[in-house]
Amino acid sequence: LSLVVEETALYGNTDNEKILFSVPADDMTISMVGGRLGFEGVTPNGLGFKLTGGYQRMFFTSIGLEEIRKNLIAFDLYLSYYFRKTPKKCDPYITAGPSLLISSLNQQVYASAGVGSRFFLNDLWSFKIETTAMSDMSGIFGRLTFGMGYHF
C-alpha cells in the first residue's frame, strides 16, 4: 500500500458544458491543472487499485464567457495491471476506471483508460508518470499525471 501525491494536467474538447458554464457553450477546448492525494495498492499477482481525490483549476477555454466555473473537485477510482509481478526499478502498467469532476453547477463522470510507469527511487519512495484518455461521450481529454508514492 502506498500514499500517493499527484499533479495532473488535462487538455481536450467537449460538447458537455453543464459542469463548467451556466449558459450553453458547445465545442469547447479547455485546459486544467490540479493535484490529488490518495492511496494505491498492488497485489502480488500485479492487480492494483488507486483511489485519489483533489482539486482541478481551469486556466484556459476557447470560449470567452463570464460565468466560467474555474474550480472543480476531482475523484478517481482506477484499477491497474502491473506487468512485473515483483517491483523493479521501472514498473509499467495499464489502468482504467471512472473519474468524477464536481463544480458548483453540476458533476460529470468520465471513463478513463491509460498507461503509465512507476520508478522506484528506493524501497520506500517511487516516482510515477501516467497518461490517460478521459471521455464523457461528448468529447475526449488527455490527462498527464506526475506523482510521488510512499510505500508502507
Specify the pLDDT at position 54: 94
Provide the terminal-to-terminal Cα distance of the chain, rounded to the nearest Å. 6
Specify the pLDDT at position 114: 97
**Confidence grade of residue 48 (pLDDT, cut at 50, 70, 90):** very high
From CA 59, how far away is CA 53, in angstroms rounded? Answer: 20
The residue with greater pLDDT, 62 or 75, is 75
- Average pLDDT on 45-62 reads 86
Instruction: Check whether 86 has a pLDDT greater than 90.
Output: no
**Confidence grade of residue 107 (pLDDT, cut at 50, 70, 90):** confident
Specify the pLDDT at position 33: 86
- Average pLDDT on 74-86 reads 90
**Confidence grade of residue 148 (pLDDT, cut at 50, 70, 90):** very high
Instruction: Check whether 67 has a pLDDT greater than 60.
Output: no
Picking from 26, 29, 20, 33, the residue whose alpha carbon sits closest to that of residue 106 is: 20
Instruction: Check whether 3 has a pLDDT greater than 80.
Output: yes
Cross-strand partners of 118 = 91, 128
Mean pLDDT lowest among 62-71, 73-82, 90-99, 108-117: 62-71
Q: Which three cell numbers stand for residue 100?
A: 468524477
Amino acid at site 116:
G
Picking from 98, 10, 120, the residue whose alpha carbon sits closest to that of residue 55 is: 10
Specify the pLDDT at position 27: 63
Instruction: Check whether 14 has a pLDDT greater than 60.
Output: yes
Q: What SS3 class is residue 140?
A: strand
Picking from 123, 132, 54, the residue whose alpha carbon sits closest to that of residue 93 is: 132
Per-residue burial over 8-23, b = 16 or more CB atoms within 10 Å of its CB, e = otherwise:
bebebebebbebbbee
- Average pLDDT on 22-38 reads 75
From CA 38, how far away is CA 141, in angstroms rounded? Answer: 22
Q: What is the reported pTM?
A: 0.83
